[in-house]
Amino acid sequence: MAVQRHRIAHRLSPLLTPRSVAIVGASPREGSTGLTIMETLAGLAFDGPVYPVNPRYDEIGGQTCYASLADLPQKVDLAVLAVSDERIEEALRLAVEAGAGAASIFGSCVVEESGAPRLADRLSAMAMEAGLPINGGNCMGYCNYEAAIRINSYPFADRQPGGNTFLAQSGSVFGAITGSSERLGLNFAVSCGRELSTSVADYMDYALELESTRVIGLFLETVRNPEGFVAALQKAEARGVPVVAVKVGRTETAARMAVSHSGALAGDDAAYDALFRRYGVLRTDSLDELAASMLLMERAAGIGPGGLATIHDSGGERELVVDAAEAAGVPFARIGEATRQKLEARLDFGLEPENPCDAFGTGRDHDGIMRDCFAALMADDDTALGVFFLDANQHNSYSIACVDACVAAAATTAKPVALATNYAGVDHRELAVTLTRQGIPVLDGTGPALKAVANALAYRDHRGRPRQEPPAAHGAAARWWARLGQGVPLDEAEALDLLADYGIGTMPHRIVTSRDEAIAAAHDLGLPVVMKTAMAGIAHKTDVGGVKLNLKSEAEVAAAWQALEAGLGPRAIVAPMAGEGVELVAGIVIDQQFGAMVVVGAGGILVEVLRDSATLVAPAPRHEVERVLSGLRVSRLLDGVRGAPPLDCAAAVDAVVGLSRLAADLGDLIAEMDVNPLRVLPRGAVALDALVVPRGG
């Protein structure tokens, strides 16, 4: 049968669908990279010339071997540089001079050297200047199953192309997933390595041009091309292609290891969480969760409203799943009375007609009962998707009968159905491949299966949220752009004025420089008041005794000003005391990869106690702020506890939205900005203090 080799027009075509390949450093040695690639391409009936290049040989594998790329009869699309790290720089230079369209580099690109730039940086600069796509270095190549082209440092099995793309910055992860991908159904997989000139974002863009791509899975240490990565996420979102990701480097130790392993800057994990939330990226914590989510999302990207329906052949395992589902935030479908009646009519005596459903009773007609009960659950209006939990053993007749029941029930519905094991070690590999190819993905393990379901529901909810275009710059932005551009820190009064311009509530305030001015301001604003130092250069006033609270009389105001004047200087700010409420902290951070972000969390003394905060990409739409704020532990206090009145959550949301707009407008000029506290009141929310440090200030 002829090889089906699908090619598309793309800037990475010379790399990923070459029409000619040269292997520099080719060798006849069994198991060598060069011979492996030659044998792989021959086995794939590659439809172009493959040129071994090595001055030490006249021929390899019956093919003429050339002394250099310059001696080839044509310019090649892809030059595979299978040479030592010590020789790679010269090999790349010659590939550029010979007009190669792309290169593959498997070596680590690390040699013993001192000073800068390092070898990898020099290679990257050379490739960027030449506009040369490179796969690697420190990679294991790629498997373009849709094009029937594989360029790898060691052989991978043939696979029928499916609808999943997998991109990994770890060669071992690439090998593990791609080498056992028969069930996963990959159309395209890449070991990205050091990404000398071609990043994850570039490979994502290529995958999104393939009509077959249904899901993109990522294993990330870092994002080396932030702007391109955001563009790829936007493209995936626009095309309805779910992106599932494992992002490592969350901890300081793991981030350090990323740097030492691949030169990857791990970045701030909170920023990745914010970015993933913005574009609906489904984050997983393990490779098993990643694989399960990819399998399910290929079929469940368009699920409807409702929750999960499950059926079980064990009461104990059902309880296990219920506990795990609650921890994973997975809601079960609330089945209606008609569904309950269908279940009751088929279940053995003593079994409850409910969801999740334990359907194994006496064992009589067990497969028929499970088939009919699962079909009834799937037909319920509140069921979005279903999972048939079964520790399926392909050598066990009972398991096979139950699998048949699952298949029969799945045939009655257009909703996604999966089969999941509670124990991943059961012997079911061939059965799992068969079922998955029939459209019923098999998910291994309770945790990964429920994570996949949670991701499917999260993706549905993300797709259902309103799409909001970024707002135009605020009318006051130009004035504050000019002020911040001076590089001089804002005092508190200016900072509060900035917040007020962006619709964030503040208390009325007045700057004073004398005892009499302080007393007059207190009378005008209304006692009791707070007085704080406004001397330049004092960022954290409480630490130096620069805050005097709850001043109730003229004498207390006078004494407070005199104390501040004696210890810190005469300039102070006076404001009324705010009412009782819950304190949040909000601020602007500038992520070195993705730009302006807004942080919101529990404020006051709770900052260190709860460590309860979240980060959002600026500007943040209102629905995203509402979602984030409701997910914080401090939100329970906002709702009112122990008889306390509920607070104005809508005003808190307004304040964070306004701060995010400020960050989007002015973030390029801000080094640091904190609003602490932002007090949420029964009516309104007010910033009681603010610190704004311009870049260079």
* pLDDT tens track for 379-392: 999 999 999 999 99
Instruction: Give the model's pLDDT for residue 266.
Output: 38
Give me the pLDDT at residue 559, please: 97
Based on the fold, state whether residues 137 and 202 are members of the same structural domain: yes
d(CA 545, CA 664): 34
Quick check: is 294 in a domain?
no
Same-domain status, 529 and 411: no
Q: How confident is the model at residue 260 (pLDDT cuts 50, 70, 90)?
A: very low
In this predicted structure, the answer to whether residue 172 has a pLDDT above a threshold of 90 is: yes
Q: Report the domain count for the chain.
A: 4
Closest CA to 378 of 435, 443, 309, 321: 309
Chosen domain end from 256, 284, 312 = 284
Residue 482: pLDDT band (50, 70, 90) is very high
Better pLDDT: 116 or 139:
139
Angstrom distance (rounded) from CA 687 to CA 114: 51
Query: How large is the angle between the packed helices 477-484 and 492-501, nearest 10 degrees?
Result: 150
The reply to whether 315 and 419 lie within a common domain is yes
Separation of alpha carbons 547 and 518, rounded Å: 14
DSSP per position, 36-103: HHHHHHHHTT-SS-EEEE-TT-SEETTEE-BSSGGGSSS--SEEEE-S-HHHHHHHHHHHHHTT-SEE
- Establish if 378 belongs to a structural domain: yes
pLDDT at position 180 is 85
Are the CB atoms for 137 and 106 separated by under 8 Å? yes
CATH number for 525: 3.30.1490.20
Average pLDDT, the chain: 93
CA distance 280 to 295: 17
Per-residue pLDDT, 397: 95
Nearest Cα neighbor of 146 from 168, 134, 162, 133 is 162
- Position of tokens 């249904």? 214
Which is it for strands 572-576 and 510-512: parallel, antiparallel or unpaired? antiparallel
Question: What mean pLDDT is predicted for residues 446-457?
Answer: 98
Whether residues 216 and 75 fall in one domain: yes
- 363 occurs within a structural domain: yes
546-573 average pLDDT score: 96
Which string of DSSP letters, residue by residue, matches 249-284?
A: --SHHHHHHHHHHH------HHHHHHHHHHHT-EEE
pLDDT at 116: 87
- Least confident range of 23-27, 155-159, 650-654: 155-159
| 185/145 Cα distance (integer angstroms) | 10
Average pLDDT estimate for 355-384: 96
Q: What are phi and psi of 316, to 5 degrees?
A: -65, -45
Same domain, 563 and 596: no
Look at residue 558 in the predicted model and tell me its pLDDT: 97
Question: Among 154-163, 276-285, 415-424, 563-572, which is the least confidently predicted range?
Answer: 154-163
CATH at 680: 3.30.470.20
Among the candidates 534, 549, 577, a domain finishes at 577
Structure token digits, residue 351: 């079994």
Q: Is the pLDDT of residue 662 over 80?
A: yes
- In sequence order, the 6+-apart residues with CB closer than 8 A to the CB of 456 are 293, 296, 297, 300, 301, 303, 384, 385, 416
Among 37-46, 199-208, 423-432, 536-545, the minimum mean pLDDT is found in 536-545
Indicate whether 63 and 193 sit together in one domain: yes
Banded pLDDT at 469 (limits 50, 70, 90): confident
b (16+ CB within 10 A) / e for 181-219: bbbbbbbbbbbbbbbbbbbbbbbbbbbbebebbbbbbbb
Q: Per-residue pLDDT for 601 more than 70? A: yes
Domain range enclosing 234: 13-284
Among residues 445, 477, 492, 175, the alpha carbon closest in space to that of 296 is found at 445
- The residue that leads in pLDDT, 343 or 266, is 343
Q: What percentage of residues in the chain have a pLDDT greater than 90?
A: 86
- Whether 159 and 32 map to the same domain: the answer is yes
- What type of residue is 417? V
Length of the chain, in residues: 697
Q: What are the residues whose beta carbons fall under 8 Å from the beta carbon of 362, sequence distance 6 or more? A: 348
- Listed as own residue / partner, the contacts of 89-96 with beta carbons closer than 8 Å and 24 or more positions apart are 89/119, 89/122, 89/123, 89/126, 91/24, 91/25, 92/123, 92/126, 92/127, 93/126, 94/24, 94/68, 94/69, 94/70, 95/24, 95/69, 95/132, 96/126, 96/127, 96/130, 96/132
Please, are residues 463 and 441 in contact by the beta-carbon 8 Å criterion? no
Same-domain check for residues 89 and 167: yes
- pLDDT band at residue 456 using 50, 70 and 90 as cut-offs: very high
CATH number of the domain enclosing 365: 3.40.50.261
Question: 537 or 84: whose pLDDT is higher?
Answer: 84
Q: What percent of the chain has pLDDT over 70?
A: 96
Q: Please tell me the predicted confidence (pLDDT) of residue 264.
A: 42
pLDDT tens string 616-634: 999 999 999 999 999 999 9
State which H helix or E strand residue 145 sits in.
none
One-character DSSP codes across 574-588: EEEPP-S-EEEEEEE
- From CA 149, how far away is CA 651, in angstroms rounded? 57
Any domain includes 230:
yes
Domain termination site, one of 236, 256, 284: 284
Across the beta sheet with 383-389, what order do the strands follow? Answer: 357-358, 307-312, 383-389, 417-420, 442-443
Q: Is residue 489 part of a domain?
A: no
Determine contact, residues 439/410, Cβ cutoff 8 Å. Answer: yes
Q: What tens digit of pLDDT does each residue of 489-537 get?
A: 899 999 999 999 999 999 999 999 999 999 999 999 999 999 999 998 8
486 in any annotated domain: no
Query: For the ranges 254-263, 523-532, 583-592, which has the lowest average pLDDT?
Result: 254-263
Instruction: Work out the average pLDDT over 262-291.
Output: 85
Distance in angstroms between the alpha carbons of the first and the last residue of the chain: 70
Which pLDDT score, from 0 to 100, does residue 13 have? 98
Could you tell me if 623 and 587 lie in one domain? Answer: yes
Considering the domain architecture, whether residues 344 and 453 belong to the same structural domain is answered as: yes
Residue 32 lies in a domain: yes
320/248 same-domain check = no
pLDDT for 141 beyond 80: yes
> 516 and 649: one domain?
no
* Stretch among 344-348, 429-433, 516-520, 644-648 having the lowest mean pLDDT: 644-648
Q: For 318-346, how does the pLDDT look when each residue is reduced to its tens digit (9 = 90+)?
A: 999 999 999 999 999 999 999 999 999 99
Encoding tokens for residue 267? 């970045």
Phi, psi values for residue 279, rounded to 5°? -110, 10
On whether residue 623 sits in a domain, the answer given is: yes
